Each structure stands twice: as C-alpha cells, then as structure tokens.
Amino acid sequence: MIRSKFIFFITVLTFSCSLLFSQENEMMMDSIPFGAIIQSELGGKRSKFYGNTRFTLNQAYFSNWISGGESSITGLFGMDYNYNYSDRNGLIWDTNFLLSLGATYIKGNDYTKKTDDRIEINSLIGKQINRLSSYSVYVNLKTQLRPGYNYPLTSGEEFNREKISEFFSPAIIQGGFGLYIKKEPIYWINMSPLAARVIMVNSSYTKNLTEDQKYFGVDPNKVSKFFFGASVTGNIKFNLVTNITLENKFNTYINYLEKTKNIDIDWNMDFRFKVNDKISSNLIIHFIYDDDLIKKLQIREIFGLGINIDL
C-alpha cells in the first residue's frame, strides 16, 4: 500500500510539473516558432562544451621543530566537464563527466593514502515540451578509480592494510524516465517516477561472506543487487556574494521494492572562492546516506587553494 502511494505521488508530481511549465510558457511562446525556441537554448548554437580543471597542492615540512609536527604533502586533482546539444526538433542531449582524485603522504608512513576518489558520468536525452521542460531518459554511473583500504588502528601495522574496494567495485548504475526542467545557467532538475538502479561488485568480495553479511548491499556469492524506484536529481548554482559561488549537486532515490521509507541521499556542496582568473580556492562538503552501502551518514570535506583552468 505504501509503495503504491509513493508511485502515485511521484508520478502525479512529475506530470503536474510538466503541465505547470507548459501552461506558464504557452502564452510567451505562441508567437515564436518552436525551432527558434530550441535554438535559443544554446544562444543560437547546436552544441556547447565547457567545464573546469582544478589542481591543488598542500605541503608542510618540519625539522627539529620542538612544538611538534609531521612533514606531509597532499595533492588534489579535479575535472568537471559538460557537453550540451540541441536541435530544431526539440531533441536535447546533456552529459556531465566528473573526476576527483586526491592523495596525501605523511613522513614515516608506509603508504600514500587517498583523500578523494570519485568518478561520475551523467547523461540525459530529452524531447522538449517547451523552453524549460522536457521528457527525459537518463543514465548515471558512479564508481572510483583507485583501490580503497582499511588501515589498522594500531601504530606501526600499516603493512596489514585490507583492500575493501576498487574500480567498479562498487559501481552504481542508475537510469530511468521522467521530466527534465532546466534553466541555464542557474539550475536543472530531473524527476523520474520510474528509475532502475544496480549496485555491481567484484565476486572476490562476496564469496567469503556469511549469510547475514553484505558487501555494499550485495548478498553473499552475488555480484549485483537490483532496485526499482523513483529518483530526483539536480544541480543548483548561484552566487552567494561577489566571487563566491555555491554549486549544489544532489540525488535522492526511493526504492519501491523494499525499505520504502528509507530515502537515499547524495548531496555535494562546492563553494568556490575566486581570487583571480587563474587562482581560486574550493571548499567541498559531501553528504551521502545509503543504508545499502553503510548504515551511517557519510561525510567528506575537502578545502584547498589551487589553480583553475576554465573552458
């Protein structure tokens, strides 16, 4: 009963928003050819490629420093690029590629430890209803590039580290049908009442699990877990004050098949402080709650001063 109510609510919300945006723009668009409306989305262009590459380096050195300290070096590298396409018939294709890598080395440690590792690809194809909204089909992929390790708490035992994750283990693939609302460059939101989701892992991590154990939500001797539900994904970007921009990327997911009351949340806040055209600093605060991965709130925070290259 609860699942049926969720499905009904999300479906009504999606198509109500579609109708609302259609009616809101109908009077404005009546006298404008539909092809001109579509073309105006990219300023008269059919396609647009843009994004940002960031390099950040933090270093500390101590020698005979009586108040204490450990020499260390930390590097962060990030890429966030977009490709947008539209044609006169109302077809749109928006794709985003995100890569974020970071590592730190502390003098005396056996290994360089990663501080960030994230790959995300989001691609959406839509058919425009009007200037702001479209029917959409989307696919999203999230994984990591480098292996992840669990280090023992006892000092001096780093060689006993345990590998707990790697490239495509886990990998989360999500896709569905819905309504896409976009107003460049401020925001876009995609609401999908019909969204499938798969968590994929390497069999080496599940073959030795006991019956009551799971690896990122996947059962023993399995390599994947399937979900079916609804999702709301979006990106909202605005200026807080001069030279300070806040970009919010978020994804929420409701599983119709089980644990309907549990809502998975992935919310990434990126504060960008611009010094000049090439130098800026970033503060990233990232929250994830997904009890299939871990039954705790995940928090990631990164701050750095570095070089930005914009396209």
Give the model's confidence band at 308: pLDDT under 50 very low, under 70 low, under 90 confident, else very high.
low
pLDDT: is 260 or 149 the higher one? 149
- Are 174 and 195 a contacting pair, CB within 8 Å? yes
From the centroid of its chain, how far is CA 180?
17
Q: Quote the pLDDT of residue 105.
A: 92
Q: Quote the pLDDT of residue 158.
A: 60
Coil, helix or strand at residue 88: coil
- Are 118 and 97 a contacting pair, CB within 8 Å? no
Q: How does DSSP classify residue 278?
A: S
pLDDT at 266 over 50: yes
Give the model's confidence band at 104: pLDDT under 50 very low, under 70 low, under 90 confident, else very high.
very high
Report the mean per-residue pLDDT for the chain.
83
Q: Which amino acid type is present at position 273?
A: F
Q: How does DSSP classify residue 215?
A: B
The CA R_g of the chain, rounded to the nearest whole Å, is 22
What b/e sequence results for 63-81 when a residue is b if at least 16 CB atoms lie within 10 Å of its CB, and e otherwise? eeeeeeeeebebbbbbebe
pLDDT, tens digit, for every residue of 35-94? 444 445 555 557 889 998 888 888 888 888 887 788 999 898 999 999 999 888 889 999
pLDDT, tens digit, for every residue of 1-27? 444 444 444 544 444 454 444 444 444
Give the model's confidence band at 245: pLDDT under 50 very low, under 70 low, under 90 confident, else very high.
very high
Q: Quote the pLDDT of residue 26.
A: 42
Domain chopping of the chain, boundaries: 2-62+70-310
253: which residues sit within 8 A by CB, 6+ positions away? 174, 195, 197, 227, 229, 230, 231, 263, 264
From the centroid of its chain, how far is CA 87?
27
CA angle 8–13–15, rounded 5-degree value: 100
Whole-model pTM above 0.75? Answer: yes
pLDDT: is 148 or 156 the higher one? 148
Correct CATH for 2-62+70-310 of 1.10.3470, 2.40.30, 3.30.450, 2.40.230: 2.40.230
